Structure 1
Amino acid sequence: MDRLDLPGLLAELARGHRVPGAQLAVHRGGRTTTAEYGVETPGGPPVTSGTAFPLGSLTKPFTATLAAMLADDGDVGFGTPLAGPLPELGPAAAELTLARLLSHTAGLAANAEDADRAPSRRAWAEEHCAPAWPGIGAAFSYSNAGYVLTGHLIESVTGMTWWEAVEDLLLAPLEITPAFVAGPPTARRAASGHSVHPSRDVVVAVEEEGSPVEAPDGALALSAADLVAFARLHLGDPSLPALLGGDTLLRLRADRLAGAAIGPYGMADGWGLGWALHRRDGAEWFGHDGTGEGTSCHLRADPVSGTVVALTTNANTGLAVWRDLVDRLAAAGVEVGDHRPLADPGPPVPGPPGCAGAYANGAARFEVSEDGAGGLSLRSTGAITCFPGLVFAVGEPPPRGRTAHAGRFIGGGGRIDLIQVTGRLARRLPPGS
């Protein structure tokens, strides 16, 4: 690892996947090494160690950390129903807890529906906190809505806006100045995202169109070095302020899905409170991925060795850079945890009988169609290749489709009742719905 040329490796991988700009930060043996490549946008300023990249869903662990700080102070409880601090939610709050929100097991919709039309997080929460699909029981289903509601909880308890809380309570003690893609302007600017179209050989800048109401689930923009500092906070690094107690740090990365019938397939091997868990060769790394409008960012940390790896990119092909980076680091002796359910799926098999149809999670629909010759596809996403165990790939299948979406059908007694695509769970709709 010490002999690895991080700047050269980052440049090679970014160029190979047409990424205009990227950052890589690796913390190992008590020392952080950084590398930068390219430009914020073609013809624009160069990427530096301080360039802020939109984090997308990698914002969620920051929101979870803020909520955990409130729990440490006794202002909220991880397992206490939210009916107390959020009475405006009505009867649904009796079934909601902070732990369920942070672990994506609250049964809320995948998307924060109508957030762009809501005047405030409170107004949105009053209308959208009911379960999207009651009756399934404890199950993982990735939910932006749960983190919008967590942001509302933070604002209600602190009397601050989410932007003020994340900047003043969390980032300022770490000496990090944030940028935001939705919300008030700051002294720091966020880099632009880009869409890479290999077939047309073009790279196009895209605008981030975040809703202020959805800021707690995806509005932060930071650098790879900032992400490393944040992960070191969660490793209990004594050189950083102790914003959370040691027991709380352990609680946040303890697997809440161990033994659950429906876990985070397609996203992680397990899930804590804000952190995804990735297992590799007996080690369990915590981290999170984030995809914005033309950006892809990734963070992993090993609590045993103290190693942290962070990658930020300003292109939709950044996931391919990350996958290649993980493989190259492994060859250099650093086995980074990364969930790859389709790494060795076995030979393709016919799709399960009766899997075609429409499935829904809130307003989100997943429509599986059959072409008459046994071929399956997911509407607006791509072809489905099925493998043993009811799992499937959407898009180009392995081994070439290394960044294909992973999904699975779920059912029993010869009937398919649910579908899970990249962690989002959806229930089958009656025919004609």
Structure 2
Amino acid sequence: MITSSNEKIEQIQKEISFSGSIFVKNKGSVLAELSYGYANRADQLENEAGTRFGIASGCKIFTAVAICQLVEEGKISFDTKLMECLDNVFPYFDEAITIHHLLTHTSGVPDYFDEEVMDDFEELWIEKPMYHMRKLADFLPLFQKEHMKFIPGERFHYNNAGYILLGLIVEKVSGLVFTEYVEKRIFAKAGMTDSGYFAFDSLPGKVATGYIEKEDGSWRTNVYSLPVQGGSDGGAFITAKDMVKFWDALSTHLLLNKSLTNELLKPHVQEDGDDFYGYGVWIKKKEDIIFKYHVMGYDPGVSFHSAHYPVSNLQLAVCANVSKGAYLVMNGIEEQFA
């Protein structure tokens, strides 16, 4: 669907050679449903509306919803201690760490990919090959015996390991494998029928291959750059339309009651300036009013942004099977519609 109102998106796509899918909706009306580039470059299979894309850390919000569902059921609370939930050995972890700390990236636990000291995600898989990373527990040796970064609650520090721990809590409390829990309790409820946590070595149809651009203009795929299967800190595959279905389900309380939805979307910690973090979701304010709730994800061969704008009721998802571009497209949509 291309209309005259999509000229801004078309302009950005041409400038950056964006490859991916875009879905924009406002109050039930579809404003844009566009796809560009190839899902498979070798066979020149084009990205389509039904193409599924990896979204990296964009799915931390699914983990947060899963935790909130278990809180709603009375099985845990946000003040429940990590040590009360898991039997794993964490010799140097602070016993004061709570689920709230993990959800808000304020726990201080050591990260397996620390963005303060590392900038190449692929370095992780030199000593521990990515094809061994199939379960959440497979990540524990990467951080469970490391020392704390700071006292719980002291500050915000984006942390992937904390969300691995939250996924393990979901598994322990629910009795389900994390990916199965999300697919049954979140994707199915939201009508996200095309989304899932797919393993690289058993992908279904209509999944976009992620591409990493080299300096000389050539490319390679990201099949050896990421864990073989995603989990609670990232790695689900979704369609752009399914992501907007998620925002619909969340805002209409299909996934959580009103109280828990408000808790998830509450600005719990200030990251910087007008940027805050709730539970698994970024929150942007303008003049002390919430402008948008948004999630994002970046991996080698993956860039993703999705947002819900509460005042205008605009919802968007921008999925790309290249390492950058989604942010610029989202900004262009904001300028035009938000």
Q: What's the TM-score bracket when you normalise by the shorter of the two chains?
A: 0.7 to 0.9
Query: Cα deviation per residue 1:195-233 (whole Å; 9 max; x = unaligned)?
Result: 234x63444433254335862111201111111111122
With 88-97 and 98-107 compared, the bigger mean Cα shift is at 88-97
Match for residue 148 of structure 1?
A: 164
Deviation for aligned residue 1:162:
1.2
Distance in 1 (CA, whole Å) between partners of 2:201 and 2:76 is 27
Match for residue 293 of structure 2?
A: 286
Query: Cα deviation per residue 1:175-212 (whole Å; 9 max; x = unaligned)?
Result: 22324354784645531112234x63444433254335
Distance in 1 (CA, whole Å) between partners of 2:46 and 2:138 is 41
Deviation for aligned residue 1:14:
2.5
Query: Cα deviation per residue 1:341-382 (whole Å; 9 max; x = unaligned)?
Result: xxxxxxxxxxxxxxxxxxxxxxxxxxxxxxxxxxxxxxxxxx
- Contact 1:25-1:35 at 8 Å conserved across structures: yes
Higher share in helix: 2
Give runs of aligned pairs for residues 32-111 of structure 1, distance below 5 A: 32-33=30-31, 34-42=33-41, 43-89=43-89, 92=93, 94-111=95-112
Give runs of aligned pairs for residues 162-311 of structure 1, distance below 5 A: 162-176=178-192, 177-182=194-199, 185=202, 187-197=204-214, 200-207=216-223, 209-211=225-227, 215-236=231-252, 242-257=254-269, 263-265=270-272, 269-280=275-286, 282-311=289-318
Q: Which amino acid counterpart does residue 246 of structure 1 have in structure 2?
A: K
Where does structure 1 lack aligned partners over 5 or more consecutive residues?
258-262, 335-433
Secondary structure of 2:50's partner?
Answer: coil
- Contact 1:295-1:318 at 8 Å conserved across structures: no
Higher share in strand: 1
1:326 aligns with 2:338: no
Q: Which amino acid counterpart does residue 235 of structure 1 have in structure 2?
A: S
Distance in 2 (CA, whole Å) between partners of 1:121 and 1:50 is 28
Where does structure 2 lack aligned partners over 5 or more consecutive residues?
114-123
Match for residue 5 of structure 2?
A: 5
Q: What is the alpha-carbon root mean square deviation over aligned residues?
A: 3.0
Change (3 A) 1:214 1:225: closer
Deviation for aligned residue 1:71:
1.1
Q: Which amino acid counterpart does residue 28 of structure 1 have in structure 2?
A: N
Distance in 2 (CA, whole Å) between partners of 1:225 and 1:139 is 35
Distance in 2 (CA, whole Å) between partners of 1:119 and 1:172 is 22
Query: Cα deviation per residue 1:23-43 (whole Å; 9 max; x = unaligned)?
Result: 111121222342222321324
Secondary structure of 1:232's partner?
Answer: helix
Match for residue 31 of structure 1?
A: 29
The alignment covers a number of residue pairs equal to 317
Question: TM-score scaled by structure 1?
Answer: 0.65
Distance in 1 (CA, whole Å) between partners of 2:235 and 2:65 is 15
Distance in 2 (CA, whole Å) between partners of 1:226 and 1:217 is 19
- Contact 1:299-1:311 at 8 Å conserved across structures: yes
- Contact 1:83-1:89 at 8 Å conserved across structures: no
Distance in 2 (CA, whole Å) between partners of 1:283 and 1:119 is 37
Deviation for aligned residue 1:333:
4.5
Change (3 A) 1:52 1:124: closer
Identity in percent: 21
Deviation for aligned residue 1:121:
3.2
Distance in 2 (CA, whole Å) between partners of 1:128 and 1:236 is 38
Deviation for aligned residue 1:133:
1.6
Aligned equivalent of 2:322, options 315, 338, 341: 315
Deviation for aligned residue 1:279:
2.1
Distance in 2 (CA, whole Å) between partners of 1:146 and 1:225 is 28
Match for residue 121 of structure 1?
A: 136
